Structure 1
Protein backbone atom coordinates (compact mmCIF):
# COMPACT_ATOMS: atom_id res chain seq x y z
CA UNK A 1 0.00 0.00 0.00
CA UNK A 2 2.82 2.43 0.80
CA UNK A 3 4.06 2.03 -2.75
CA UNK A 4 0.66 2.03 -4.44
CA UNK A 5 -0.70 5.17 -2.74
CA UNK A 6 2.49 7.07 -3.55
CA UNK A 7 4.22 7.56 -0.18
CA UNK A 8 7.59 6.73 -1.72
CA UNK A 9 7.12 9.25 -4.52
CA UNK A 10 7.65 12.27 -2.25
CA UNK A 11 9.03 10.84 1.00
CA UNK A 12 12.00 8.99 -0.54
CA UNK A 13 15.07 10.91 -1.73
CA UNK A 14 16.22 9.90 -5.20
CA UNK A 15 19.23 10.05 -7.47
CA UNK A 16 19.16 10.15 -11.26
CA UNK A 17 19.82 6.76 -12.82
CA UNK A 18 19.70 5.19 -16.28
CA UNK A 19 15.89 5.00 -16.17
CA UNK A 20 15.27 8.30 -14.40
CA UNK A 21 14.89 8.96 -10.65
CA UNK A 22 15.79 6.00 -8.45
CA UNK A 23 15.13 5.78 -4.70
CA UNK A 24 18.30 5.95 -2.60
CA UNK A 25 17.82 2.70 -0.68
CA UNK A 26 19.46 3.81 2.57
CA UNK A 27 17.27 6.96 2.63
CA UNK A 28 13.98 5.20 1.78
CA UNK A 29 11.01 7.15 3.23
CA UNK A 30 13.27 9.56 5.16
CA UNK A 31 11.92 12.77 3.60
CA UNK A 32 13.84 15.80 2.41
CA UNK A 33 17.50 15.31 3.39
CA UNK A 34 18.36 17.80 6.13
CA UNK A 35 21.94 18.25 4.90
CA UNK A 36 20.96 19.04 1.32
CA UNK A 37 21.38 22.58 0.08
CA UNK A 38 18.18 24.11 -1.20
CA UNK A 39 18.23 25.46 -4.77
CA UNK A 40 17.47 29.06 -5.65
CA UNK A 41 13.79 29.63 -6.40
CA UNK A 42 12.64 31.69 -9.37
CA UNK A 43 9.60 33.36 -7.82
CA UNK A 44 8.47 34.74 -11.20
CA UNK A 45 7.10 31.27 -11.95
CA UNK A 46 5.17 31.28 -8.68
CA UNK A 47 3.69 34.67 -9.46
CA UNK A 48 2.38 33.19 -12.73
CA UNK A 49 0.42 30.47 -10.93
CA UNK A 50 2.98 27.65 -10.98
CA UNK A 51 3.82 25.23 -8.22
CA UNK A 52 7.39 23.90 -8.28
CA UNK A 53 9.04 20.72 -7.01
CA UNK A 54 12.69 19.87 -6.59
CA UNK A 55 14.09 17.11 -8.86
CA UNK A 56 13.44 14.22 -6.45
CA UNK A 57 10.00 15.50 -5.33
CA UNK A 58 10.97 15.88 -1.65
CA UNK A 59 10.33 19.65 -1.61
CA UNK A 60 7.53 21.74 -3.10
CA UNK A 61 7.03 25.46 -3.53
CA UNK A 62 3.73 27.26 -4.03
CA UNK A 63 1.54 30.02 -2.62
CA UNK A 64 1.94 28.49 0.88
CA UNK A 65 5.74 28.76 0.69
CA UNK A 66 8.16 25.83 0.75
CA UNK A 67 7.15 22.47 2.19
CA UNK A 68 9.42 19.50 2.75
CA UNK A 69 8.43 15.83 2.68
CA UNK A 70 8.50 14.41 6.20
CA UNK A 71 10.60 11.56 7.48
CA UNK A 72 8.17 8.65 7.83
CA UNK A 73 10.70 6.01 8.86
CA UNK A 74 10.65 4.25 12.24
CA UNK A 75 13.28 6.63 13.61
CA UNK A 76 12.26 9.06 16.37
CA UNK A 77 13.05 11.91 13.93
CA UNK A 78 10.36 10.34 11.75
CA UNK A 79 7.23 8.62 13.05
CA UNK A 80 8.99 6.09 15.27
CA UNK A 81 7.43 7.42 18.45
CA UNK A 82 3.97 8.09 16.98
CA UNK A 83 0.93 6.15 18.13
CA UNK A 84 -1.45 4.57 15.64
CA UNK A 85 -3.99 7.24 16.64
CA UNK A 86 -1.56 10.05 15.75
CA UNK A 87 -0.91 8.39 12.41
CA UNK A 88 -4.66 8.22 11.70
CA UNK A 89 -5.14 11.89 12.61
CA UNK A 90 -2.32 12.91 10.26
CA UNK A 91 -3.62 10.89 7.33
CA UNK A 92 -7.36 11.37 7.75
CA UNK A 93 -7.56 14.87 9.23
CA UNK A 94 -4.37 16.32 7.73
CA UNK A 95 -2.84 17.42 11.03
CA UNK A 96 0.89 17.94 11.52
CA UNK A 97 2.48 15.22 13.69
CA UNK A 98 -0.98 13.70 14.12
CA UNK A 99 -1.93 16.25 16.75
CA UNK A 100 -5.57 17.37 16.79
CA UNK A 101 -4.48 20.98 17.37
CA UNK A 102 -1.52 20.79 14.98
CA UNK A 103 -1.27 22.94 11.87
CA UNK A 104 -2.66 21.65 8.59
CA UNK A 105 -0.40 19.45 6.52
CA UNK A 106 0.93 21.48 3.62
CA UNK A 107 0.64 20.76 -0.09
CA UNK A 108 1.40 18.65 -1.94
CA UNK A 109 0.57 16.10 0.78
CA UNK A 110 -2.70 14.61 -0.53
CA UNK A 111 -4.13 13.68 2.88
CA UNK A 112 -7.68 14.30 1.61
CA UNK A 113 -7.20 11.28 -0.68
CA UNK A 114 -6.63 9.08 2.36
CA UNK A 115 -9.71 10.16 4.32
CA UNK A 116 -11.63 7.06 3.20
CA UNK A 117 -8.95 4.49 4.00
CA UNK A 118 -10.23 1.80 6.31
CA UNK A 119 -8.87 1.30 9.82
CA UNK A 120 -7.42 -1.98 8.57
CA UNK A 121 -5.56 -0.21 5.75
CA UNK A 122 -4.30 2.56 8.05
CA UNK A 123 -3.06 0.02 10.58
CA UNK A 124 -1.31 -1.95 7.81
CA UNK A 125 0.46 1.18 6.52
CA UNK A 126 1.40 2.25 10.06
CA UNK A 127 2.70 -1.22 10.92
CA UNK A 128 4.81 -1.30 7.76
CA UNK A 129 6.27 2.18 8.39
CA UNK A 130 7.09 1.24 11.98
CA UNK A 131 9.04 -1.76 10.60
CA UNK A 132 11.23 0.29 8.24
CA UNK A 133 14.92 0.90 8.80
CA UNK A 134 15.19 4.01 10.97
CA UNK A 135 16.84 6.97 9.25
CA UNK A 136 17.89 9.85 11.48
CA UNK A 137 16.83 12.91 9.47
CA UNK A 138 15.28 16.05 10.91
CA UNK A 139 13.47 17.61 7.97
CA UNK A 140 13.60 21.43 7.74
CA UNK A 141 10.61 23.47 8.85
CA UNK A 142 8.37 24.93 6.14
CA UNK A 143 9.35 28.33 4.78
CA UNK A 144 6.53 30.89 4.52
CA UNK A 145 5.96 32.38 1.06
CA UNK A 146 6.96 35.88 2.21
CA UNK A 147 10.41 34.57 3.20
CA UNK A 148 11.27 32.83 -0.08
CA UNK A 149 12.95 35.85 -1.60
CA UNK A 150 15.06 36.27 1.57
CA UNK A 151 16.57 32.79 1.39
CA UNK A 152 20.34 32.85 1.42
CA UNK A 153 21.17 30.04 -0.97
Structure 2
Protein backbone atom coordinates (compact mmCIF):
# COMPACT_ATOMS: atom_id res chain seq x y z
CA UNK A 1 0.00 0.00 0.00
CA UNK A 2 1.39 3.37 -0.97
CA UNK A 3 1.96 6.24 1.43
CA UNK A 4 -0.69 8.23 -0.41
CA UNK A 5 -3.29 5.48 0.13
CA UNK A 6 -2.35 5.18 3.82
CA UNK A 7 -2.87 8.95 4.24
CA UNK A 8 -6.30 8.73 2.58
CA UNK A 9 -7.33 5.90 4.95
CA UNK A 10 -5.99 7.80 7.97
CA UNK A 11 -7.95 10.93 6.99
CA UNK A 12 -11.08 8.88 6.34
CA UNK A 13 -10.75 7.15 9.73
CA UNK A 14 -10.28 10.49 11.43
CA UNK A 15 -13.39 11.91 9.75
CA UNK A 16 -15.48 8.85 10.67
CA UNK A 17 -14.34 8.92 14.33
CA UNK A 18 -14.87 12.69 14.60
CA UNK A 19 -18.34 12.30 13.09
CA UNK A 20 -19.29 9.50 15.48
CA UNK A 21 -18.07 11.49 18.48
CA UNK A 22 -20.06 14.51 17.30
CA UNK A 23 -23.21 12.42 16.91
CA UNK A 24 -22.72 10.88 20.33
CA UNK A 25 -22.22 14.29 21.93
CA UNK A 26 -25.33 15.66 20.25
CA UNK A 27 -27.53 12.70 21.14
CA UNK A 28 -26.94 12.85 24.92
CA UNK A 29 -28.70 15.59 26.84
CA UNK A 30 -26.25 17.68 28.82
CA UNK A 31 -26.44 17.29 32.56
CA UNK A 32 -27.92 20.40 34.10
CA UNK A 33 -25.40 22.39 36.09
CA UNK A 34 -26.56 23.27 39.58
CA UNK A 35 -27.87 26.80 39.87
CA UNK A 36 -26.03 29.38 41.94
CA UNK A 37 -28.83 29.22 44.53
CA UNK A 38 -28.56 25.43 44.80
CA UNK A 39 -24.78 25.62 45.20
CA UNK A 40 -25.14 28.35 47.81
CA UNK A 41 -27.83 26.54 49.78
CA UNK A 42 -25.60 23.47 50.05
CA UNK A 43 -22.31 25.31 50.65
CA UNK A 44 -19.96 24.39 53.46
CA UNK A 45 -21.13 25.18 56.97
CA UNK A 46 -19.16 26.53 59.90
CA UNK A 47 -18.54 23.89 62.57
CA UNK A 48 -19.26 24.89 66.17
CA UNK A 49 -20.39 23.33 69.44
CA UNK A 50 -23.98 24.41 68.74
CA UNK A 51 -26.06 26.16 66.13
CA UNK A 52 -26.22 29.26 68.36
CA UNK A 53 -22.40 29.27 68.74
CA UNK A 54 -22.04 29.02 64.96
CA UNK A 55 -24.44 31.94 64.57
CA UNK A 56 -22.54 34.04 67.12
CA UNK A 57 -19.30 33.38 65.22
CA UNK A 58 -20.87 34.29 61.87
CA UNK A 59 -22.35 37.51 63.30
CA UNK A 60 -18.90 38.45 64.62
CA UNK A 61 -16.94 37.76 61.43
CA UNK A 62 -19.75 39.05 59.21
CA UNK A 63 -19.47 42.51 60.74
CA UNK A 64 -23.18 42.56 61.66
CA UNK A 65 -22.44 44.52 64.84
CA UNK A 66 -20.56 47.22 62.93
CA UNK A 67 -23.87 48.73 61.82
CA UNK A 68 -26.59 46.96 63.80
CA UNK A 69 -25.09 47.58 67.29
CA UNK A 70 -24.87 51.19 68.53
CA UNK A 71 -21.30 52.20 69.39
CA UNK A 72 -19.71 48.92 68.31
CA UNK A 73 -17.72 50.21 65.32
CA UNK A 74 -16.75 53.44 67.08
CA UNK A 75 -15.17 51.48 69.95
CA UNK A 76 -13.56 48.90 67.66
CA UNK A 77 -15.79 46.25 69.19
CA UNK A 78 -14.89 47.06 72.80
CA UNK A 79 -18.50 47.88 73.67
CA UNK A 80 -21.32 47.32 74.19
CA UNK A 81 -21.66 43.96 75.91
CA UNK A 82 -23.16 41.06 73.93
CA UNK A 83 -26.49 41.52 75.74
CA UNK A 84 -26.84 44.83 73.85
CA UNK A 85 -25.87 43.56 70.40
CA UNK A 86 -27.98 43.90 67.26
CA UNK A 87 -30.51 46.40 68.60
CA UNK A 88 -30.25 48.67 65.54
CA UNK A 89 -28.99 52.22 65.36
CA UNK A 90 -30.43 55.69 64.82
CA UNK A 91 -27.25 56.77 62.99
CA UNK A 92 -28.07 56.52 59.31
CA UNK A 93 -26.20 55.93 56.07
CA UNK A 94 -26.89 58.44 53.29
CA UNK A 95 -26.16 57.96 49.62
CA UNK A 96 -27.84 58.02 46.21
CA UNK A 97 -30.47 55.58 47.58
CA UNK A 98 -31.57 58.04 50.29
CA UNK A 99 -30.87 57.36 53.96
CA UNK A 100 -31.05 53.90 55.52
CA UNK A 101 -30.89 52.99 59.18
CA UNK A 102 -29.55 49.69 60.56
CA UNK A 103 -32.51 47.56 61.61
CA UNK A 104 -33.00 46.27 65.12
CA UNK A 105 -32.43 42.64 64.18
CA UNK A 106 -33.64 41.37 67.54
CA UNK A 107 -37.07 42.94 67.04
CA UNK A 108 -37.14 42.09 63.33
CA UNK A 109 -36.38 38.42 63.98
CA UNK A 110 -38.96 38.30 66.76
CA UNK A 111 -41.60 38.76 64.03
CA UNK A 112 -39.92 36.65 61.32
CA UNK A 113 -39.74 32.90 60.76
CA UNK A 114 -36.53 31.13 59.86
CA UNK A 115 -37.95 30.47 56.37
CA UNK A 116 -38.76 34.17 55.91
CA UNK A 117 -35.22 35.13 56.92
CA UNK A 118 -33.69 32.68 54.45
CA UNK A 119 -36.01 33.89 51.66
CA UNK A 120 -35.16 37.53 52.44
CA UNK A 121 -31.43 36.72 52.46
CA UNK A 122 -31.67 34.89 49.13
CA UNK A 123 -33.66 37.74 47.53
CA UNK A 124 -31.09 40.28 48.74
CA UNK A 125 -33.29 43.25 48.01
CA UNK A 126 -32.67 46.10 50.37
CA UNK A 127 -30.88 49.38 50.71
CA UNK A 128 -27.14 49.84 51.01
CA UNK A 129 -24.86 49.56 52.84
CA UNK A 130 -26.30 46.17 53.85
CA UNK A 131 -23.98 43.55 52.28
CA UNK A 132 -26.72 41.47 50.62
CA UNK A 133 -24.25 39.57 48.39
CA UNK A 134 -22.58 38.19 51.53
CA UNK A 135 -25.88 36.84 52.87
CA UNK A 136 -26.80 35.41 49.48
CA UNK A 137 -23.50 33.49 49.42
CA UNK A 138 -24.08 31.79 52.79
CA UNK A 139 -25.31 28.23 53.10
CA UNK A 140 -28.80 27.59 54.44
CA UNK A 141 -27.17 26.05 57.53
CA UNK A 142 -25.21 29.25 58.17
CA UNK A 143 -28.30 31.41 57.71
CA UNK A 144 -30.20 29.14 60.10
CA UNK A 145 -27.36 29.49 62.62
CA UNK A 146 -27.47 33.29 62.40
CA UNK A 147 -31.23 33.17 62.85
CA UNK A 148 -30.92 30.86 65.88
CA UNK A 149 -28.30 33.12 67.48
CA UNK A 150 -30.27 36.33 67.02
CA UNK A 151 -33.46 34.65 68.27
CA UNK A 152 -31.51 33.42 71.34
CA UNK A 153 -30.75 37.04 72.28
CA UNK A 154 -34.46 37.82 72.62
CA UNK A 155 -36.26 41.04 71.69
CA UNK A 156 -34.79 44.28 72.97
CA UNK A 157 -34.67 47.97 72.10
CA UNK A 158 -36.64 50.12 69.68
CA UNK A 159 -37.28 49.84 65.97
CA UNK A 160 -34.85 51.76 63.77
CA UNK A 161 -36.07 54.94 62.07
CA UNK A 162 -37.76 54.48 58.70
CA UNK A 163 -35.58 54.84 55.61
CA UNK A 164 -35.70 58.18 53.79
CA UNK A 165 -36.10 58.61 50.04
CA UNK A 166 -33.44 60.40 47.98
CA UNK A 167 -33.59 64.16 48.53
CA UNK A 168 -35.18 63.95 52.00
CA UNK A 169 -32.87 65.51 54.59
CA UNK A 170 -32.32 63.40 57.72
CA UNK A 171 -32.97 65.01 61.10
CA UNK A 172 -30.46 62.84 62.95
CA UNK A 173 -26.75 61.92 62.65
CA UNK A 174 -25.71 60.00 59.54
CA UNK A 175 -22.69 58.93 57.52
CA UNK A 176 -22.52 60.18 53.93
CA UNK A 177 -21.51 57.68 51.24
CA UNK A 178 -20.69 60.04 48.39
CA UNK A 179 -17.37 59.74 46.54
CA UNK A 180 -15.20 62.81 47.04
CA UNK A 181 -12.75 64.09 44.45
CA UNK A 182 -9.14 64.55 45.59
CA UNK A 183 -8.30 68.18 46.42
CA UNK A 184 -5.99 68.48 43.38
CA UNK A 185 -8.89 67.64 41.01
CA UNK A 186 -11.47 70.02 42.48
CA UNK A 187 -12.27 73.09 40.41
Using the size of structure 1 for normalisation, the TM-score is: 0.65
Answer 1 or 2: which has greater strand percent: 1
Answer 1 or 2: which has greater helix percent: 2
Shift of 1:141: 0.6
- Taking the aligned partners of 2:84 and 2:113, their CA distance within structure 1 comes to 23
Shift of 1:24: 2.5
Q: Identify the residue that residue 166 of structure 2 maps to in structure 1.
A: 145
**Does residue 124 of the first structure (1) align with residue 145 of the second (2)?**
yes
- Taking the aligned partners of 2:97 and 2:157, their CA distance within structure 1 comes to 27
Which has the larger Rg? 2
Task: Map 1:17-96 to 2 at 5 A.
Answer: 20=76, 22-25=78-81, 26-33=83-90, 58-73=91-106, 77-94=107-124
- Taking the aligned partners of 2:97 and 2:128, their CA distance within structure 1 comes to 8
Gaps of 5+ in 2: 1-57, 173-187
Q: Is the 8 A contact 1:78 1:136 kept in 2?
A: no
Q: Secondary structure of 1:79's match?
A: helix
CA RMSD, 1 decimal: 2.3
Using the size of structure 2 for normalisation, the TM-score is: 0.54
Gaps of 5+ in 1: 34-57, 95-103
